[in-house]
Amino acid sequence: MTSYPSTKKGDTVTNHFGTNVADPYRWLEDDRSAETENWVKEQNKTTFNYLDKIPFRKDIKERLEKLWNYEKLGSPFKEGNYTYFSKNNGLQNQSVIYRRKDGKEEVFLDPNKFSEDGTTSLAGLSFSNDGSLVAYSISEGGSDWRKIIVLNTETNTIVEDTLVDVKFSGVSWKNNEGFYYSSYDKPKGSELSAKTDQHKLYYHKLGTPQKTDQVVFGAIPEEKHRYVGGNVTKDGKYLVISASVSTSGNKLFLKDLETNKRITILDNTDTDTYVIENVGSKLYLVTNMNAPNRKVVTVDATKPSPENWVDFIPETENVISPSTGGGYFFANYMVDAISKVMQYDYEGKLVRDIELPGIGSAGGFGGKKEDKEFYFSFTNYSRPGSSYSYNVETGKYKQYWKPEIDYNPEDYESKQVFYASKDGTKVPMIITYKKGLELNGKNPTILYGYGGFNVSLTPSFSIANAVWMEQGGVYAVPNIRGGGEYGKKWHNAGIKTQKQNVFDDFIAASEYLIENKYTSSDYLAISGGSNGGLLVGATMTQRPDLMKVALPAVGVLDMLRYHTFTAGAGWAYDYGTAEDSKEMFNYLLGYSPVHNVKKGTTYPATLITTGDHDDRVVPAHSFKFAAELQGKQAGANPTLIRIETNAGHGAGTPISKTIEQYADIFGFTLYNMGYEELPNKTVLKDFKE
């Protein structure tokens, strides 16, 4: 039985609508205290002592490194006189931006030189219209706080002082004079956990100090918005401003950059609507107003309110994600989470159905209006992503790049099944595994889910999952409610007091895999990150008997306090808050993972993962959950927490750290399923010889 560091209990109690709730580990929320820092060190020491004893962990790491070590190329794009693309030689911590002109290729930006350990990453890249300037943003240690640096692309020299303290922001240029960006006032407390509540849109004029940047939107305290963004239309005519109080729903405004007049398109946050294109004053909007699966409408900028909208690409039974390029619209539909793409002209006439390279996920299909050729990507769970060059006039495409990888996709297969959830709702799930799999209930299986924020899980290849499947592992992904696979209705069926539907869908997926002998409770692991970490935490506390291993990553686990940290209050559309009403408080208390760990219960072997610089879902969620599990676990199953230092919510994590983390997760999972050696040692033997 694992021995854990002692975690002191405080006497903090909060009262919600007359109910007292103990919060004994509140002190772990202070990410700047020496006491919390010491706790992190002791927990990591315990965790790595355990992981070091796993006999095949090193073998998994070596196989991950071997498989990961292939050249990866991003789709090229044209800016000014150059064609830019990203490339990773194999195991570089960060991908490098290259460019070419007249057949000559050169490194433009190498994020591996931003920091010695690879923990500073490139977080965004925005070129001015003529391509002569670029503003790129960097993230240090995985934080959501960014810095913006401006370069002259011809000389590759920095042109002004670095902008700091930028968060949840794009960069949109106004000619070559300056650009729009968004941020919050720096919080008075910890910048990694203190609440950030009022987002503002700024205009930065090149060559002037950041402190003189003008607030364009969001300065009025009573008009508080948590997420504000501004984009200049491609012709430079309008600034489009979107303002939201949560992660769902937005107001929409248009500012004429010649007259400076601001026009309201939508003055409420009841829908998700954005401008995708304009031709002069004719606007093309994507909206889910009276269209849960989204549609494209047109309207004139002088009278842009909804009563004047005209359907351009009407709503269908499938969710649409449109893009533009080469003088056409491309409607990327999700049909049971699988891509189908159709091309339209600017009059709304269907040009063609595009026959994709297979069944899976297509991305891209976008470029400048004058481009007659651009690129799209294609992938699925068993097929590594490749890119294709597409001719907009003929509809023909050819493979531009295919990875040279030590892996044969023909050895694997994916099967889509539909199963019934607790209330009878049909839910799709894609199960991927090595061909010839024996349905004997003994296959190590990872069930991965998310189920929130209108996010859709579509098929995509993962090197880590390829290593898992090489070992005879099954990888299953259900498209549960709360996601966006079937539009706004599917999302809304998994929010607030409907959130239990999400957990029920995930539990039913587990039961399907067990009933159909893909696996059994002794060989099932459940996995998810962020909102998916909440999914794992809630499922394992509600049905600890169902799985052998639980892997909650960077999870939202304290549902009574999530909204008090950083931008957490913006998630209230999905969750509701404990302050909303007595009913909402009781509902959250009923499933909040931190509050539903019961003493004397045998929980599955659990490896919680988080980063000490995670300022999206603060690590205190994971710290408190780990403390509760360690204090109350009845059986011998280990409950450990792995805290990555100098790392955030996941984006920009160096490849070296990602590989180490997967080796630990897979090693922990298989070891706790009873394996003393790897199920498929021949793979390791082959690659070592």
For the CA atoms of 496, 501, 503, 509, what is the dihedral angle to 10 degrees? -160
CB 28, CB 43: distance < 8 Å: no
Say how far apart CA 74 and CA 228 lie, in whole Å.
Answer: 29
Q: Using the Cα atoms of residue 508, residue 509, residue 510 and residue 516 in order, give the sign of their dihedral.
A: positive
**CB–CB of 312/297 below 8 Å?**
yes
Q: Which residue has the tokens 């009781």?
A: 586
Query: Which two tokens mark 426?
Result: 């049909």
Bridge partners, residue 526, by sequence: 447, 550
Tokens of 544: 């600890």
Residue with the two structure tokens 């509809």 = 395
Catalytic residue status for 530: yes
Element (H, E) at 488: helix 487-492
- Tokens coding 36: 């919390």
Cite the DSSP H helix spans in 278-409.
none
| 456 is known as an active-site residue | no
3-state helix, strand, coil split of the chain in percent (to 5) is 25, 35, 45
467, two tokens: 């290593």
The number of CA neighbours under 13 Å toward the Cβ of 47 is: 25
> Which residues contact residue 362 at a Cβ distance below 8 angstroms, ignoring those fewer than 6 apart?
332, 339, 341, 356, 376, 377, 378
Cα–Cα distance for residue pair 627/43, rounded to 1 Å: 10
499 neighbors 457 (Cβ within 8 angstroms) = no
Those residues whose C-beta lies under 8 Å from the C-beta of residue 67, and which sit 6 or more positions away, are: 405, 406, 407, 463, 466, 467
How many residues make up the chain in this entry? Answer: 689
DSSP 3-state assignment of 94? coil
H helix or E strand, kind and range, residue 492:
helix 487-492
Instruction: Tell me the longest C-alpha to C-alpha distance in the chain.
Output: 73
Q: Could you give the C-alpha distances from 159 to 125, 132, 206, 208, 214, in angstroms and in order?
A: 16, 11, 9, 11, 20
Helix (H, G, I), strand (E, B) or coil at 556: coil
Residue whose tokens read 């002190």: 27
**Dist. CA 328–CA 312, nearest whole Å:** 13
Cα gap 330→366, rounded to integer Å: 8
Query: CA separation (Å) from 660 to 18, 48, 58, 618, 666?
Result: 46, 12, 9, 22, 10
Catalytic residue among 139, 530, 592, 622: 530
Give me 279's structure tokens. Answer: 């031709």
State the DSSP code for 317: S
Q: Whose CA is closest to 609, among 575, 579, 648?
A: 648
Nearest Cα residue to 110 out of 102, 120, 101, 100: 120
Distances (CA, A) of 270 to 66, 245, 497, 582: 49, 11, 19, 24
* Residues designated catalytic: 530, 649
